[in-house]
Amino acid sequence: MIETYNRVMNTTYADSGVDIEKGDEASSTAYSHALNTFSSRSGMIGEPVKLEGGYSGLMDFGDFYLVQNDDGVGSKSEVAIRVGKYDTLGYDLLAMVSDDAVCVGAETVSINNTIDTEKVDNDITDKLLGGLSNACSEQKIIISGGEIAELPGLVNGFTWNSSAVGIVAKDKVLTNEKIAVGDSVVTLKSGVVRSNGLSLVRKILKDQFGENWHTAEWKDGTTWGETILTPSVIYANAVLDMIGRYGQESKAQVHGVSHITGGGMHNPRRILKRNNLGVNLDNLWAPHEAVLDLMKLGNVSDEEAYKVWNMGNGMMVITPEPDKVIEIAKANGIEAQIAGSVIKEPEIRFVSQALGNDVIVF
């Protein structure tokens, strides 16, 4: 079927209106302002910990660190509106925050959430929160509260964001300092695109199929809208089973965890830069078939795709005990395999598993 599609030329993330460089610059600016507040709680309960490359913020509460982060489902909400299906979006929301928290070793205890909407619709709210409730129950996380704001004229559709609160023992924080040359990198398999890079997805499909792209068939009677709405796999339970929840012993040595979110294969650098190391990955999971079709439709290069999407690899675990990590992941229903190893050169080197098999270096 893909051969019948009209081809367009070299679609990039920038073409969809997203400027990665400016986004990184804004994040850096925001973090600098956050750091300016740290000294205000020096010597007090909740004194912050500076953790470079961390996916979450740590605060000292005596015997443990309290961990906090936030994120949202992004423009995947627009896909849900198009399809008229809202009960799976909660899995995406929870994945974005709980899978960030576990990268520092934290067990997410609770989340709250905020829905900013053009117009309140109780039926939609019921489906959104019902799905989130199911996802949270599966991950042993409570919903501690939330807010619904009706903002006509300011919001088109709705946005959905969440903050997570977690806990980690001080001796179990994943500081990434133990990562060493020769450690194995285990990759945990992902589905379609989770909640990252949706702007590029939507542009490609709109360029190809027009405004009602979500109704176009992808494969075997399944529409593109239904396919892109595939909920995120949540990895937190599996990783917590490896490192041990609060008060529990670990089952495997884990030196670092990288959530492959916005920025794609650039993400491992966040946990490798402390020791100025890199990775060589020659056995990544191949991306979902729908992602390969998106690349063909938009003529997206392998390099660009690996900058935007996780390309089948939702989380990476750096460990000297890969067999144990893989066994625990599989026991939690997560497919896992050894992707490669840590190297002394500070680069992300990998063999593309997409349309070509070129070696790409970030």
Q: What is the pLDDT of residues 303-351, one digit of tens each?
A: 999 999 999 999 999 999 999 999 999 999 999 999 999 999 999 999 9
What gap in Å lies between CA 310 and CA 222, rounded to an integer?
Answer: 22
Whether the pLDDT of residue 56 is over 60: the answer is: yes
For residue range 248-258, list pLDDT tens digits in order: 999 999 999 99
Determine the 3-state secondary structure of 106 from DSSP. coil
Please state which of the ranges 11-15, 85-89, 290-294 shows the lowest mean pLDDT.
11-15
Q: What pLDDT was estimated at residue 36?
A: 77
- H or E segment and range at residue 33: helix 20-38
Give the number of other CB atoms < 10 A from CB of residue 60. 17
134 C-beta neighbours (distance < 10 Å), count: 15
Task: Quote the CA–CA distance of 271 and 254 in Å, as a whole number.
Answer: 12
Q: Between 236-243 and 322-331, two packed helices, what is the crossing angle to 10 degrees?
A: 130
DSSP state of 40: G
Q: Which distant-in-sequence residues (6+ apart) come within 8 Å of 83 by Cβ?
A: 214, 223, 225, 226, 229
Alpha-carbon span 273 to 224, nearest angstrom:
38
pLDDT at 34 over 80: no
pLDDT confidence band for 10 (50 / 70 / 90): confident
Q: Please name which of 67, 69, 21 lies closest in space to residue 266, comparing C-alpha atoms.
A: 21
Q: What's the pLDDT tens digit per position in 116-148?
A: 999 999 999 999 999 999 999 999 999 999 999
Residues 210-226: what's their mean pLDDT? Answer: 97
In this predicted model, which residue has the larger pLDDT, 153 or 26?
153
Q: How confident is the model at residue 1 (pLDDT cuts 50, 70, 90)?
A: very low
Instruction: Report the pLDDT averaged over residues 5-11.
Output: 55
The SS3 assignment for 14 reads helix
Taken in order 52, 54, 58, 63, is the CA torsion positive or negative? Answer: negative
- Phi then psi for 266, rounded to 5 degrees? -75, -20
Q: What is the DSSP string of 198-229?
A: HHHHHHHHHHHH-TTGGGSEEETTEEHHHHHT
pLDDT value at 89 more than 90: yes
Average per-residue pLDDT for the chain:
92
CB-count exposure of residue 100 (10 Å: 0-12, 13-18, 19+): buried
**pLDDT score at 24:** 61
How confident is the model over 274-286, as a mean pLDDT?
A: 97
Query: Which percentage of the chain shows pLDDT scores above 90?
Result: 82
Helix (H, G, I), strand (E, B) or coil at 85: coil
State the residue for tokens 């992707």.
339
CATH class in words for 2-13+177-361 = alpha beta
Residue 13 confidence (pLDDT): 59
- Bigger pLDDT: 23 vs 152: 152
Q: How confident is the model at residue 35 (pLDDT cuts 50, 70, 90)?
A: confident
3-state class (DSSP) for residue 339: strand
**Cα torsion for 362, 300, 78, 194, to the nearest 10°?**
-50
When pLDDT is cut at 50, 70 and 90, the band that residue 2 belongs to is very low
Q: Residue written as tokens 């840590």?
A: 342
Residue with tokens 């070299």: 10
Predicted confidence at residue 6, as pLDDT, reads: 47
Distance in angstroms between the alpha carbons of the first and the last residue of the chain? 33
Residues of the chain with CATH 3.90.650.10: 2-13+177-361
Rounded Cα gap, residues 282 and 146, in angstroms:
43
Q: What is the model's pLDDT at position 346?
A: 97
Q: What is the CATH number of domain 30-170?
A: 3.30.1330.10
Cα–Cα distance, 280 to 283 (Å, whole number): 9
